[in-house]
Structure 1
Amino acid sequence: MRPVLPRPRRTPTALLAAVAVTATLAGCGGDDDTGSPFKTPKGESKAAASLGIPVVATRNTTRTATGDPVDAAAAVARAAFPGGSDASRAKAVAIVDKGDWRVALAASALVAPPVSAPLLFSDGTSLPDPTEEAVEALDPSGGTGGEGAQALRIGDVGRPSGLRTENVAGEGPYELARAIDRYTTQARGRTADRVLVVSADRPEFAIPAAAWLAKSGDPVAFVTSKGIPAATARQLAAHPKATLYVLGPSAVVRPAVTKQLRRYGTVKRMGGVDPVQNAVGFARYKDGAFGWNVNRPGHGFTLARSTDTLGAITLAPLAASGLHGPLLLTDSANALPEAVAGYLLDVKPGYYPDDPALDATQAGGYNRAWITGDVSAIDEGQQAQLDALLEIAPVDTSPNAGETADSATRSDRESRGGPGPTTTGQAGAATPGTTTAAPTPRP
């Protein structure tokens, strides 16, 4: 139970005056006379709209404002690996056919070190212009000493000109997932002792895996409603006594399938009953060194529509850089689901305005999110709601604050590193300006 702390309602306003954005982050359309790809919302200045404000950026969010996964992948790759120094330069790029989300999901593991290869999309055997432009801008180093592959061709895809390439071959998505697993095993010099298992039939339950694969480099294996494909069985056999983490409820990966999986290792299930709760469940999950364990402030998040399969996968490099963090899903164009809003309230950062040692500049633990999709997929109102839930908020320390709260619950939260956030309304209907939160208790 969250304590009820009164807080005055505020009207959301444009908080950013100017942000430099590139054309690769744009794509939501518009018809004003500024030449901008962004429409000018009623009441907003054309100067702000021409920079994409508040669609491309708010104080706590950034967006790849496009519905085209080819453009989104190119933009994210350049954002995650901006260059300018060896530390921020991609070692390689992974070229994946946009025609099969399962291959793209498996290739997310190539983002993690030591491969460090962001995903770019091929259209069959040809490379779209945004992909070619991204390859040129990324200028992959080829790894230590500049002698390794600069481009990994995953399956039968286009070949970037002028780069050293290596082929990761396989017949179909399950063989390609196995081939990617073998490649990362060789690159890391060890066999993974854990495998993430997802449904090949239900992408909306599988896509949260992309963010974790990009961060951890763990392999992913696909199962179907009928059982374990032959290629997947061979892949799992190469990981003796591994822990197999099944992402999704029993209605998606059925008990009959998990029974078969036990031949290959210990099986543990995580997630939730629907795509939104499944993503939140993974974000909270921890089992030893596996799992995000994002249950306190100070993290990044990514957000996509649950129906935008490739768009969600393109965000993977941003889960493994910057603030690092899990993928969350929304099932609506205009409102955050209750499960997401409630979760973000639970990890909302706070500060003590009356204590210079723990004010907003000292308390830390900031949250931030990256969104993919144009405003028809996730509108400006939902982005503003997300922004407010991420914003660091003052802790109400007045004598009567939280007097209706369950003191045992509050004390338990404090003992675990700080009380959770509070709201004057239902979590699913959180309104910008109506929340307060607390960081780690005062020492």
Structure 2
Amino acid sequence: MKTHKQLEQFASKPNSYNDRAGVNLKTYDTKNVSRLNTDNTLEASIYTSQMIWPATHDETRPGTVILFPNKSWSIGLASVNFIHHPNNGPVFHFDSEGVSEEVLNEIDRLQPKGNSEGIQIMVMGDITDHVNEQLASYKVKSLTAETAAQFAFKVDEEYARLTDEYPENILVVSSEDHAKLFSLVAGYWIAHMPEPILYVETNGVPLETIKALKKRKNPNIYIVGPEKIISKQVEEELSMYGSVTRIPGDNPVDVSIEFTMFKDQDSGFGWGIDKPGRGLSFISTSQPELAITTAPFSHLGKHCPLIWLDQGKLEDSVYHFLAKIKPTFQDSPQEGPYNHSYLMGSIETISYETQGIIDNKLEIVAESDGGHH
């Protein structure tokens, strides 16, 4: 258990900076931080795919690749549920012109094995004849809907059909654009665990969401975000269909930290991260869609939750959270445990200075001032 003095020390900000640190860099990785050095969501999805699925042999090939329309973050977020088993695959986007050559090349590299029903590619949203032609050599399934709430309902239904059960833990998020940063926090969790999201609005619960809730018997409903995003009125309405818990926070950064630390011991829901030896993913609030295409980092490897960086910078709340999970050792740093993080975004979006601070805050240090000799 860290003392108050240690927590204050670990949460402290640097006193001085070296303005030459980012000059002539040969690598954008540091010892405790791996960076995906791009702000392009398509590039990020391919980097993620290649890091998570080497595809060198059957055990490292994905089952099903997920494609979603790049103009709809709400469809993309709901689609993330399919990253999990039995699909076990990356998520890419397509646009009005079709599936890009880069994505087609990556799918060819992956050689997806197919899920339990042999489906190699799941396409979300309406697709053109051209997309059908592009994917003609694969076994494809598509999922369409007219609204975000209807789409989330269909994802829930399809996942339950694949796994023969409706999960009892459900995340409720807003589908409205002003709520995007709050809602996207849930994506990393539903890629990590087979638990869906359902959509509401600030002051209303769509019929499709109610219909999905009624398929369960007293489910555990977790609202992500404050009352200004999902009102008390909606919370009360949802309580008619199950047990409701809100994961609060005044802003997206605080919600991401609250979610990362939250754990419901009775249901097993939540990351519950308040000790060292963890993986984390950091994304700037200026590049929110990266939270969709990099979500597989929560599915395999270090199983990372998402922490927002406000416009690419570290807030006080992040400093204090990192202090809580700072690893310490008694005799030798080889004892561990170790923290590691992924940083999603370019040097222009998240500075090398910020990366250096995160790297240092994740570093294992001596429990006492005696240090390691």
Assess same fold via TM > 0.5. yes
Residue deviations 1:120-163 (CA, integer Å, cap 9, x gap):
1111360122221221121111135xx61000011114343411
Structure 2 equivalent of residue 284 of structure 1: 261
Cα 1:43/1:349, change in 2 over 3 Å: closer
The SS at the match of 1:113 is coil
Q: What is the root-mean-square deviation in Å for CA atoms of aligned residues?
A: 2.4
Q: CA deviation at 1:214?
A: 0.4
Which one has a bigger Cα radius of gyration?
1
Structure 1 ranges of 4+ moved more than 3 A: 4-7, 9-13, 41-46
Structure 1 equivalent of residue 307 of structure 2: 328
Task: Give the one of 268, 278, 282 matched to 1:299.
Answer: 278
Q: For 1:43 and 1:240, locate their aligned partners in 2 and report how far apart those are by CA, in whole Å.
A: 56
Residue deviations 1:153-191 (CA, integer Å, cap 9, x gap):
111143434111111222222221111111111111111
Q: CA deviation at 1:314?
A: 1.8
Cα 1:250/1:161, change in 2 over 3 Å: same
Structure 2 equivalent of residue 367 of structure 1: 339
The SS at the match of 1:62 is strand
Task: Give the one of 345, 361, 383 matched to 2:323.
Answer: 345
Output the amino acid matched with 2:5: P
Cα 1:260/1:10, change in 2 over 3 Å: closer
Q: For 1:78 and 1:184, locate their aligned partners in 2 and report how far apart those are by CA, in whole Å.
A: 25
**1:21-420 alignment, distance < 5 Å:** 42=20, 46=24, 48-49=25-26, 53=27, 55=28, 57-124=29-96, 126-143=98-115, 148-157=118-127, 158-159=131-132, 160-201=135-176, 202-288=179-265, 289-333=268-312, 335-352=313-330, 355=331, 359-361=332-334, 363-398=335-370
Q: CA deviation at 1:311?
A: 0.8
Output the amino acid matched with 1:263: M
Contact 1:99 1:124 (C-alpha < 8 Å) held by counterparts: no
Contact 2:81 2:194 (C-alpha < 8 Å) held by counterparts: yes
Contact 1:115 1:187 (C-alpha < 8 Å) held by counterparts: no
Aligned residue pairs, count: 357
Contact 1:245 1:268 (C-alpha < 8 Å) held by counterparts: yes
Contact 2:75 2:152 (C-alpha < 8 Å) held by counterparts: yes
The SS at the match of 2:276 is coil
Q: Which runs of 5+ in 2 are unaligned?
A: none
Greater RCO between the two (CA within 8 Å, min separation 6)? 2
Contact 1:112 1:217 (C-alpha < 8 Å) held by counterparts: yes
Q: CA deviation at 1:233?
A: 2.2
The SS at the match of 1:115 is coil
Q: For 2:245 and 2:346, locate their aligned partners in 1 and report how far apart those are by CA, in whole Å.
A: 36
Q: CA deviation at 1:351?
A: 1.3
Q: CA deviation at 1:42?
A: 4.8
Contact 2:64 2:122 (C-alpha < 8 Å) held by counterparts: yes
The TM-score normalised by the length of structure 1 is: 0.76
Q: For 2:248 and 2:189, locate their aligned partners in 1 and report how far apart those are by CA, in whole Å.
A: 13
The SS at the match of 1:325 is coil
The SS at the match of 2:45 is helix
Identity %: 24
Q: For 1:251 and 1:43, locate their aligned partners in 2 and report how far apart those are by CA, in whole Å.
A: 41
Q: For 2:21 and 2:249, locate their aligned partners in 1 and report how far apart those are by CA, in whole Å.
A: 40
Cα 1:390/1:175, change in 2 over 3 Å: same
Q: CA deviation at 1:243?
A: 0.9
